[in-house]
């Protein structure tokens, strides 16, 4: 058991919890705050959405111990919030709920939309709500309720102010050198000791080309980065690289920019990339190491590329860092990268380099579809 101390709906709370207890269970079972609903427990449906340090999070995939020193606001904590009060009324008058199971999470998401956007069109509202699933309403009433409140807020901005949660200092994440200097981490600091507690992802793919050819194309950073969906190479030389990657995963967007060092072992056809980057949207920070090595296939005509990633994610996006979805997302990203690389090597996509696009919708859909099939015991 671990001692945790946090603020819940303006109240200081201390408790002993199992390290694996997620925040939704903690609120429901320990704090008797059952307004937070739990459905998928995979970070997919949005039913458990609440605010941590004023940022929406999926409380089913956030460990309670990760909330040490933070401010949690569940649906019960909005009683004196004028914007939430108005949204509740509008949900009722616009018939935006039936069974009400999705409603607490939906209201928290809706409040965020009303707070951030002044003139969203219907499509934008629907996009923003795409991380919250409702089995009953068909969404029409929900979208209408949000439109009504946004229109009202425009007419009387002073009357519908969201009340900020009680200010609580952010926790300090001491071990990270990148906090002091976002975007740059000396190679030596991302050593094996830093991997302790990091999330590890292992993937591999095989290309129908000999190792020497694959080694050459992977070492050509403009080509390799153009094959990685969402990536953009900014600067590079033999030992370092600067770039950015844009990720959109359902309702979640991130634009990580950072720098890394390169360490190549030509004889073993092995490369290690160590670095750090910061997401300009959520201010989340990631540091880590990506290592790949090439293994010759049969008769040296094919090559298997083994990739091992260790990373530590801090900030609002950390809630996703260990979920199974991230593993599957990384798998799809690797597949797309391998596919783009194979096309480039075959000459099918010769010509000027064009950055690979993120096929977000398809990727999210295929991950969810795979999940749903596996829940029902289907095989690929
Ligand atoms: S229960 Fe948390 S996202 Fe579905
Ligand atoms: S109102 Fe029933 S799931 Fe949304």
Ligand 1 atom index nearest CA of 46: 3
Question: Who has greater pLDDT, 351 or 51?
Answer: 51
Question: Who has greater pLDDT, 375 or 93?
Answer: 93
* Distance in Å, CA 221 to ligand 2 centroid: 48
The pLDDT of 125-145, averaged and rounded, is 94
Task: Output DSSP code: residue 234.
Answer: E
Distance CA(360)–CA(311), nearest Å, equals 22
Question: Please, are residues 43 and 323 in contact by the beta-carbon 8 Å criterion?
Answer: yes
* Distance in Å, CA 15 to ligand 1 centroid: 23
User: Does residue 96 line the site of ligand 2, with CB under 6 A?
Assistant: no
Could you tell me what percent of the chain has a pLDDT over 70? 76
For a ligand 2 pocket test, name from 45, 48, 132, 136 the mutation site with the most ligand atoms within 8 angstroms of its C-beta: 136
* Distance in Å, CA 210 to ligand 1 centroid: 45
The pLDDT of 363-379, averaged and rounded, is 50
For a ligand 2 pocket test, name from 48, 95, 100 the mutation site with the most ligand atoms within 8 angstroms of its C-beta: 100
Nearest to 125 by CA among 134, 137, 138, 112: 112
Q: What is the pLDDT of residue 93?
A: 94
pLDDT higher than threshold 70 for residue 14: yes
Ligand 1 atom index nearest CA of 40: 4
Q: What is the pLDDT of residue 355?
A: 56
Q: What is the pLDDT of residue 216?
A: 92
Q: What is the pLDDT of residue 354?
A: 60
> What would the pLDDT profile of 263-293 be if each residue is shown by its tens digit?
999 999 999 999 999 887 777 788 888 999 9
Q: What is the pLDDT of residue 248?
A: 67
Q: What is the pLDDT of residue 188?
A: 33
Of 29-43, 126-140, 213-227, 334-348, minimum mean pLDDT range: 334-348
The pLDDT of 346-358, averaged and rounded, is 62
Q: Whose CA is nearest to atom 4 of ligand 2?
A: 134
Question: Please, are residues 32 and 13 in contact by the beta-carbon 8 Å criterion?
Answer: no
* Distance in Å, CA 379 to ligand 1 centroid: 24
């Amino acid at each position: 058991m671990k001692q945790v101390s946090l603020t819940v709906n303006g109240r200081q709370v201390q408790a002993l919890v199992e390290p694996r207890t997620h925040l939704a269970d903690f609120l429901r079972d320990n704090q008797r705050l059952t307004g937070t609903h739990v459905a998928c427990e995979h970070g997919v449906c949005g039913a458990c959405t609440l605010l941590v340090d004023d940022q929406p999070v999926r409380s089913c995939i956030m460990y309670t111990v990760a909330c040490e020193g933070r401010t949690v606001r569940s649906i019960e904590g909005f009683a004196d919030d004028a914007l939430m009060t108005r949204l509740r009324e509008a949900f009722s008058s616009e018939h935006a709920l039936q069974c009400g199971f999705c409603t607490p999470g939906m209201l928290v998401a809706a409040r965020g939309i009303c707070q951030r956007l002044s003139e969203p069109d219907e499509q934008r509202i629907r996009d923003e709500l795409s991380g919250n699933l409702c089995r009953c309403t068909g969404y029409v009433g929900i979208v209408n309720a949000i439109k009504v409140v946004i229109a009202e807020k425009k007419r009387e901005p002073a009357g519908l102010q969201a009340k900020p949660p009680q200010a609580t200092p952010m926790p300090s994440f001491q071990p990270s050198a990148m906090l002091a200097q976002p975007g740059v981490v000396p190679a030596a600091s991302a050593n094996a000791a830093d991997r302790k507690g990091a999330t590890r992802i292992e993937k591999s793919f095989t290309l129908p080309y000999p190792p020497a050819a694959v080694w050459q194309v992977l070492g050509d950073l403009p080509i390799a980065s153009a094959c990685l969906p969402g990536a953009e190479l900014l600067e590079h030389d033999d030992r370092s690289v600067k770039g950015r990657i844009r990720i959109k995963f359902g309702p979640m967007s991130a634009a990580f920019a950072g720098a890394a060092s390169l360490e190549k072992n030509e004889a073993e056809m092995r490369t290690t990339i160590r670095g750090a980057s910061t997401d300009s949207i959520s201010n989340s920070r990631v540091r880590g190491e990506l290592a790949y090595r090439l293994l010759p296939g049969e008769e040296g005509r094919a090559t298997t590329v083994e990739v091992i990633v260790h990373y530590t994610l801090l900030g609002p996006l950390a809630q996703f860092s260990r979920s199974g979805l991230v593993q599957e997302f990384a798998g799809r990203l690797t597949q797309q990268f391998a596919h783009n690389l194979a096309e480039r090597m075959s000459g099918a996509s010769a010509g000027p380099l064009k950055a690979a696009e993120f096929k977000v919708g398809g990727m999210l859909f295929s991950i969810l579809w795979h999940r749903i099939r596996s829940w029902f015991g289907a095989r690929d």
